[in-house]
Copies of this chain bind each other. A is one copy, B any other.
Amino acid sequence: MPYSKTDELAINTIRTLAVDATFTANSGHPGAPMGMAPVAHVLFNKFMTFNPKNPDWLNRDRFVLSNGHGCMLQYALLHLFGYKLSIDDLKHFRQVDSITPGHPEAHDTPGIEVTTGPLGQGFANAVGLAIAQAHTGAVFNKPGFELVNNHTFCFFGDGCAMEGIASEAASTAGHLQLGNLIAIYDDNHISIDGDTKVAFTEDVMKRFEAYGWHTQWVKDGDNDLESIEAAIQKAKDVKDKPSVIKLTTTIGFGSKLQGTHGVHGNPLKADDIKQVKEKFGFDPEKMFVVPQEVYDMYHKHAADGAAAEEEWNKLFSKYGEEHKDLHADLARRLTRDLPEGWQNKLPTYKPTDSAIASRKLSEAVLQSIHDIVPELISGSADLTGSNNTIWKGAVDFQPPNLGIGDWSGRYMRYGVREHAMAAIMNGMSAYGTIIPAGGTFLNFVSYAAGAVRLSSLSHQRVIYVATHDSIGLGEDGPTHQPIETLAHFRALPNMMVWRPADGNECSAAYYMALTSKSTPSILALTRQNLPQLEGSTIENGIKGGYVALEDKEADITLVSTGSEVCICLEAVKTLKDQGLKARVVSLPCFEVFDAQSKDYKLSVIPDGIPAMSVEVMSTMGWEKYSHEQFGLNRFGASGPYKKVYEKFEFTPEGIAKRAKLTVDFYKDVKPLRSPLNRAFQQLI
């Protein structure tokens, strides 16, 4: 269909809204919105189905702005289509407590699918959204019921294209033949350092071809709406590969500085705005102008989307008659509640049960619950046998033509791509029907730090299965032994870092990870065997901390996690021989323990006696729960793990020695308060 004056007007409306919002905020990025307004207009109006009145409708097409700094493009679209984002919200762009922050945040703004801005993340999220669609469609679609068949569209720029995370994700998407994924590369030749020729001269389309993508090039992304439309249509027609369209555009199209980095991250000057508006036929004296015919055009498309959802709702209802169980399952998943009684499947252990590595305990949980929690999709960054993330009989999520799995498979082979794995899991979680769990060594969760941060910030229920959690991994040595890692992620807001000491605590960690709908988890798990503890129960574990061994006459509290709890229990005997009484606290998760009542917490780490923490890594953060800290503020060592523990004195004797020094040191302090007593509360 030929494009009209109204199309042009709509495109220029988006451009001038971006100009006005960044000018008003005196901050922001007008260049990308001005350059990508044409493709956004075509994509949203000709190809995407969505209902602004219900941004959560399952089968909506997904849109990800990976170059999130161009968010005024997305905010303008959301406003024009009638999402709950007013013209006032645009006027409050980049202001405190607005829903139009400097980069798009999924949790805060209706219609934003994933939180982007940190470059490359959105691209990888889009791969996750596409995986989730493919999987969900394979599970729920039935003849006559094409319930889940949406596409995922992603815009990305040169910055994203340079980031390794996007390379990892693109390689993954190519391998997986994700025909439902269409990415549009804003080839504007400009990044913050100026012309991309200073650092980025590779052949991007050839690289994507190497990954197995279908590629196209639209040479005039500024004006040639017909070619843009044809390219997107072609990309949709290619069913067996993800598609990328290289779209050559002019950054800041219309500005006097168009095509330069001067228009990338700074608002336009007043005189430039004047000429832009005159050029586009807008009144230069007015701001935030939306012509009625533009609203009309966009609202009509929104109404079509609402009608599509209504049709879908009818279909889904009819589906319920013919496929009752599947209907119930999908309806339940959308509430994010787990199936009733699922928690009864969590393994429990008695102290007489044998010692087991917590990575194996984690495997036992997955083995037990995978049937009753069908939305759980496990996987590993090429460490399946080490992370123990697979259950018996698990089918790989793979393109069926490879002969090694199918789209309904629930085991992901992420490859050695930790960062993309994390961001893909964020996308899978954001889709709404999946709880992703992915494994790597704890030390290499750090490779994924950029995406792990966004799991927390964007409230995704993602589970990181982080095995080989300390010097206890032994021979692989310092390059693989985490020291700073737990401190890092414990300092990250809205992240549960779990380090279970035994089987019941491991089940507790999974209980919390799976039932906390908007908080991700890192499960730090051992390679070495751990005994089953007295006093450990799931009920205790889910409090984040509890008394593992009580002694009302104790001289000291030993506070510990994971593999060191059992050594502390041994140290109690050593101390007894020296005439000292000790009690032991297991504190598998700071974040969850912090949320308990003050009374409870003080019953765990009480006033009156000193507390000493014991954990074989950085002591940072432990001062909050203890007066003294026994840890490892240096790199580890390569050797059999028991020898490594001995080298660093993490033995009953090494603990007892320091416990005695601690007791002596605090004898004269009155009152000796629990470190949990604070002068004031932290802001939340």
Interface residues of A (CB under 8 A from B): 25, 27-28, 68, 94-98, 101-103, 105, 115-120, 158-160, 162-168, 171-172, 174-175, 191-193, 197-204, 206-207, 209-212, 380, 382-386, 396, 398, 402, 404, 413-417, 419-420, 443-444, 446-447, 449-450, 453-454, 456-457, 474-480, 483-484, 487-494, 610, 612, 618-621, 623-624, 627-635, 637-640, 643-644, 647-649, 658, 661-662, 664-666, 668-671, 673, 675, 678-680, 682-684
Task: Give the residue of B28, B168, B200, B684 whose beta carbon is less than 8 angstroms from that of A162.
Answer: B168
Minimal Cβ-Cβ distance residue in B for A677: B665
A204 to B207, CA, bound (A): 9
Residues of B within 8 A of A492 (CB): 483-484
Task: Give the residue of B98, B172, B210, B212 whose beta carbon is less than 8 angstroms from that of A210.
Answer: B210
What are 26 A-B pairs with beta-carbon distances under 8 A?
A27-B474, A68-B479, A95-B640, A96-B637, A96-B647, A98-B639, A102-B475, A119-B416, A120-B416, A163-B416, A175-B200, A175-B201, A191-B415, A193-B382, A193-B383, A197-B404, A453-B484, A457-B479, A483-B492, A484-B488, A490-B620, A493-B634, A621-B621, A649-B683, A658-B679, A668-B671
A649 to chain B, nearest CB (A): 7
Task: Give the residue of B105, B167, B417 whose beta carbon is less than 8 angstroms from that of A477.
Answer: B105
A251 to chain B, nearest CB (A): 14
- Contact call B444/A118, Cβ cutoff below 8 A: yes
- Contact call B202/A171, Cβ cutoff below 8 A: yes
Minimal Cβ-Cβ distance residue in B for A200: B415
A85 to chain B, nearest CB (A): 15
Given A164-B167, A416-B163, A453-B484: A475 in contact with B27 (beta carbons within 8 A)? yes
A231 to chain B, nearest CB (A): 21
Task: Give the residue of B98, B168, B658 whose beta carbon is less than 8 angstroms from that of A638.
Answer: B98
A89 to chain B, nearest CB (A): 13
Minimal Cβ-Cβ distance residue in B for A590: B620
A34 to chain B, nearest CB (A): 19
A191 to B413, CA, bound (A): 11
Residues of B within 8 A of A621 (CB): 487, 491, 620-621
Given A162-B382, A415-B162: A94 in contact with B661 (beta carbons within 8 A)? no
Residues of B within 8 A of A199 (CB): 172, 175, 382, 413-415
Residues of B within 8 A of A610 (CB): 679
A201 to B662, CA, bound (A): 57
- Contact call B449/A478, Cβ cutoff below 8 A: no
Given A68-B479, A96-B644, A487-B488: A385 in contact with B192 (beta carbons within 8 A)? yes
- Contact call B206/A94, Cβ cutoff below 8 A: no
Residues of B within 8 A of A118 (CB): 443-444, 447, 479-480
Residues of B within 8 A of A386 (CB): 192
Given A200-B171, A202-B212: A491 in contact with B682 (beta carbons within 8 A)? no
- Contact call B620/A476, Cβ cutoff below 8 A: no
Task: Give the residue of B115, B162, B204, B639 whose beta carbon is less than 8 angstroms from that of A96.
Answer: B639
A105 to B146, CA, bound (A): 55
Besides A191-B382, A488-B491, 4 more A-B contacts (Cβ < 8 Å) are A68-B479, A199-B413, A204-B210, A457-B478
Minimal Cβ-Cβ distance residue in B for A454: B479
Residues of B within 8 A of A635 (CB): 456-457, 493-494
- Contact call A96/B643, Cβ cutoff below 8 A: yes
Given A96-B639, A673-B669: A105 in contact with B396 (beta carbons within 8 A)? no
> What 4 A-B pairs come out closest when comparing CB atoms?
A164-B164, A623-B623, A96-B639, A101-B638
Task: Give the residue of B210, B446, B474 whose beta carbon is less than 8 angstroms from that of A453.
Answer: B446
Residues of B within 8 A of A637 (CB): 96-97, 101
Minimal Cβ-Cβ distance residue in B for A192: B382
- Contact call B628/A479, Cβ cutoff below 8 A: no
Given A492-B483, A628-B679: A398 in contact with B478 (beta carbons within 8 A)? no
Residues of B within 8 A of A172 (CB): 199
Residues of B within 8 A of A640 (CB): 27, 95-96
A317 to B97, CA, bound (A): 67
- Contact call A396/B103, Cβ cutoff below 8 A: no
Minimal Cβ-Cβ distance residue in B for A682: B633
A648 to B201, CA, bound (A): 44
Minimal Cβ-Cβ distance residue in B for A617: B491
Residues of B within 8 A of A490 (CB): 620
A495 to B424, CA, bound (A): 31
Minimal Cβ-Cβ distance residue in B for A405: B198
Residues of B within 8 A of A494 (CB): 635
A612 to chain B, nearest CB (A): 8
Identify which of A162, A443, A658 gathers the most chain B CB atoms within 10 Å of its CB.
Answer: A162
Identify which of A206, A386, A671 gathers the most chain B CB atoms within 10 Å of its CB.
Answer: A206
Residues of B within 8 A of A454 (CB): 479
A386 to chain B, nearest CB (A): 7
- Contact call A475/B679, Cβ cutoff below 8 A: no
Minimal Cβ-Cβ distance residue in B for A629: B682
A550 to chain B, nearest CB (A): 23
A27 to B480, CA, bound (A): 14
Task: Give the residue of B479, B612, B673 whose beta carbon is less than 8 angstroms from that of A115.
Answer: B479
- Contact call A491/B209, Cβ cutoff below 8 A: no
A630 to B678, CA, bound (A): 11
Residues of B within 8 A of A101 (CB): 477-478, 637-638
